[in-house]
A = this chain, B = another copy of it.
């Protein structure tokens, strides 16, 4: 065998990634790290994986080995219930990290399914732990990422526990909008990658209810909806819905 690994063709789905030159570094794990520290991260985040729409990065029950930073595309986390229904527990976009559910039992607790053709950076967990034993700021940053996930989940619990259907949808749209802005996209106009059913599952509503409320918001001039294309026309109107529990 000739020793030419560097000339290995690139037509596999394993590509070289570098955090230091990644446009998402201010949203992702490298956030707040120095140049040198990010280079340490580059050493461990060595491969990317392409995930086609409908495929999974991992499935519930899979052995846990890595975290995944979303580089492009859009994902849902979901669990298939005994009765076959697909319960959505989150939506994830570029710069976010998925897979942390697997750490506790060494097996993943849910699926991470691509809602469009996507790409993730593979972060081998053992190497991340090793690096974060060496680099204090990386350790801190990783802990913050996990904690942020906990706080985010608690936010969803509050949404599900206290809000009525219209508030949930309004909160959902505002949240998406915010996250798009942070990634340099328009806050007012975006494309939903998920179906009404997935939105409903995530928000604890039926798809018909989601559809009806979108229509209602449209009639009230708050948003424009055309299938998956959303245009927010009156942000303050949506914000005003939050906290009006009756």
A interface residue numbers (CB < 8 A to B): 77, 79, 81-83, 85, 87, 89-90, 100-105, 109-110, 129, 132-134, 136, 139-140, 143-151, 153-154, 156-158, 160-162, 201-204, 243, 245
CB-defined A-B contacts under 8 Å, sample of 26:
A81-B243, A83-B243, A83-B245, A87-B158, A89-B154, A89-B158, A101-B147, A101-B150, A101-B151, A102-B147, A103-B144, A103-B146, A104-B147, A104-B148, A104-B150, A109-B151, A109-B154, A132-B139, A133-B134, A146-B146, A146-B147, A146-B150, A153-B153, A157-B157, A160-B160, A161-B203
State in angstroms the CA–CA spacing of A86 and B203 once bound together. Answer: 21
Known contacts A133-B133, A143-B129, A160-B160: does B154 contact A101 (CB below 8 Å)? yes
A178 to chain B minimum Cβ distance, whole angstroms, is: 16
Complex CA gap A148/B129 in Å reads 17
- Within the complex, the shortest CB–CB distance from A158 to chain B, in Å, comes to 5
Report the Cα distance A66→B153, complex, angstroms: 21
Q: Looking across the interface, which residue of chain B has its beta carbon closest to that of A158?
A: B87
